[in-house]
Amino acid sequence: MKLYRTADGHYVEHGGSYYLIPDSSWDKLVTHDDLHAYLLSIVNSGRTTDGVSPAQILAPIGNQEVWAAGVTYFRSRSARMEESKSAGGGDFYDRVYSADRPELFFKATANRVAGPGTHVRIRTDAKWSVPEPELTLLINQHGHIIGYTVGNDMSSRDIEGENPLYLPQAKVYDGSCALGPGILVASGPLPRSTEIDIEILRQGRIEFSGSVALTELKREPQALVDWLFRDNVFPNGCFLMTGTGIVPPSSFTLQSGDRIRITIEPIGVLENVVA
């Protein structure tokens, strides 16, 4: 089942049919005792409604914080070691890749998150910017993974590479994150064979494409969540981006007008244009 947030209400989609969720706030849905069973009861009511058009769909976020894990794929470790070599930061990335404690950082509040079909941004003071396509977990207030969405952890590589202490500036700014289009509410974990694909189109032509399977993800999603919930409460639940396994070559930087298309097959396609 997929859950969508729109200006006209929230919808659940199942088998190609759409069902309007009776009056409920997004935060209430995220913190529902058993969201999967609740959505199933709506589907089983059989009261279908008209479909939801892509233009109606908003970012699937209410009052949740967005956090992110880093250096969870070998490709990310190597790219970060390379970009920070002259700053002497390379060793940190190698160490965190194999350490018990993962890298976790605060990524965004809802106002910094772009929904599907809207604009993401590159920093005005950055010279080297990339999208990071990431499986993103929706977690309830008890630390249980209740759904999955597609995420884009926009990053300024020159800023984080200059000094690891600049990471919050490289990662957190207006339009630095995109989520959507909906939430896949599944009864179990996603198969490890699940693929994440990205295409970056410039003037209608593919400038970069890449893909990675979840088999390359070094850590278990629930283990990342357990670390995040150590000494942190999230009364409205939260999102956790699980890191990138796709890094474009060092010669690539995003430009205004680039179209970023990220696909995770069972969830959907998240498409945004760089402002």
Cβ proximity to ligand DO4, 56 vs 78, nearer residue? 78
Cβ proximity to Mg ion, 83 vs 153, nearer residue? 153
Q: How far apart are CA 190 and CA 148, in angstroms?
A: 9
Cβ proximity to ligand DO4, 71 vs 212, nearer residue? 71
Chosen residue from 35, 68, 225, 228 binding ligand DO4 by CB under 6 A = 68
Cβ proximity to Mg ion, 30 vs 130, nearer residue? 130
Binding mask 149-188 for ligand DO4 (x = CB under 6 A): ----x------x------x---------------------
Whole-Å CA distances, 137 to 53, 64, 185: 24, 12, 10
Q: How far apart are CA 54 and CA 123, in angstroms?
A: 27
Residue keyed to tokens 């003037």: 203
> Which of the ranges 22-30, 55-63, 70-78, 117-125 carries the binding residues for ligand DO4, by CB under 6 A?
70-78
Cβ contact 260:271 at 8 Å: yes
**What is the C-alpha end-to-end distance of the chain, expressed in Å?**
32
Give the count of beta carbons closer than 10 Å to the beta carbon of residue 34. 12
Chosen residue from 2, 5, 10, 80 binding ligand DO4 by CB under 6 A = 80
Total interface residues for Mg ion by CB under 5 A: 3
Binding to ligand DO4 by residue 112, rule CB under 6 A? no
Cβ proximity to ligand DO4, 60 vs 243, nearer residue? 243
3-state secondary structure 160-180: HHHCHHHHHHHHCCCCCEEEE
Binding mask 51-90 for Mg ion (x = CB under 5 A): ----------------------------------------
Total interface residues for ligand DO4 by CB under 6 A: 12
Q: Tell me how far, at minimum, the Cβ of 129 lies from Mg ion, in Å.
A: 13
Nearest to 138, CA basis, from 95, 182, 96, 103: 182
Pairing of strands 238-241, 65-70: parallel
Q: How far apart are CA 181 and CA 116, in angstroms?
A: 5
Q: Which residues bind ligand DO4 (CB under 6 A)?
A: 68, 70-71, 76, 80, 103, 132, 153, 160, 167, 243-244
